Amino acid sequence: MTGGTAGQDAPNGCHADLPGVRLWFTDSGGEGAPIVLLHPNTGNSEVWQKQVPALAAAGFRAIAFDRRGWGRSLAVPETGAQPGSIAGDLDALADHLGLGRFHLLGVAGGGFAALDYACWRPERVRSLVVGASYGQFQEPEIQAIFQRIATPDFQRVPALLREVGATFRGLDPEGTAQWLEIEHRAMQPGAVAQPLRSPNTYAKLAAIACPVLVLAAGADLYAPPALMRRWAAHLPSHEWDVLPEAGHAISWEQPEAFNARVIAFLRGVP
């Protein structure tokens, strides 16, 4: 593992002291091209436990972090403005680790921030993968579709039923219980969700010149493929795929298929 100050922290991760935050991250190490993983709003960097070994075995250096106020990352008002942004913390971590250019992957809420960062720092992003995400776009058509999906009644449904597909819940009770355990220790009490640096819009997408993979989940109740196609159509270019039976927790529910598709895409990046 590279960078940070391990101290009394767990052996698989450590904290980086960055402006406004003690950011908890894990780093598989190695000489391969780095890929940074941005977790969804439900969960923390532990959700990538099914991706990091596969990416490392494929020759990539996999880095994941808990966003500020999630998991083990601690806001530090004495050292920087609050609540900051996920993109800002990512940029500071990339500097801290001396990453230069890197691949970027975000799922669900992590996809919001991945798009935000790729538009802000196109020179640093080698490729972009966005999975199961409506992108938090402010465009009227996306907002209208999402409001009809995420109604007040829908939002009152327990996170497990909203986020995790029925197929996975029905067939993998152990994996479902583990997802719940991670979610229960995800967002810290009183934590404030970090805003995007700037609203995600179709116009912003024009700045993304790197290779992009948009990966939808066929059983996603939050960001169904038809919604994702609307915003993906405004990218200069992209690859598109759907994992048919996956729910919103796409990378957790179908790790083998997810990992294979992502690794194949990454290997095709110049």
Global pTM? Answer: 0.95
pLDDT in tens, 228-270: 999 999 999 999 999 999 999 999 999 999 999 999 999 999 9
Which CATH number is associated with domain 14-267? 3.40.50.1820
Band (pLDDT 50/70/90 cuts) for residue 9 is very low
pLDDT score of 12? 75
pLDDT in tens, 107-120: 999 999 999 999 99
pLDDT in tens, 143-182: 999 999 999 999 999 999 999 999 999 999 999 999 999 9
| Statement: residue 7 has pLDDT above 80 | no
Q: Hey, is 167 helix, strand or coil?
A: helix
Question: Domain residues of the chain, as ranges?
Answer: 14-267
Measure the CA–CA gap between 91 and 174, rounded to whole angstroms. 36
Region for residue 264 given its phi and psi (left: phi exceeds 0; alpha: psi -120 to 50; beta: otherwise): alpha
Q: Is 94 exposed, middle or buried (0-12, 13-18, 19+ CB in 10 A)?
A: buried
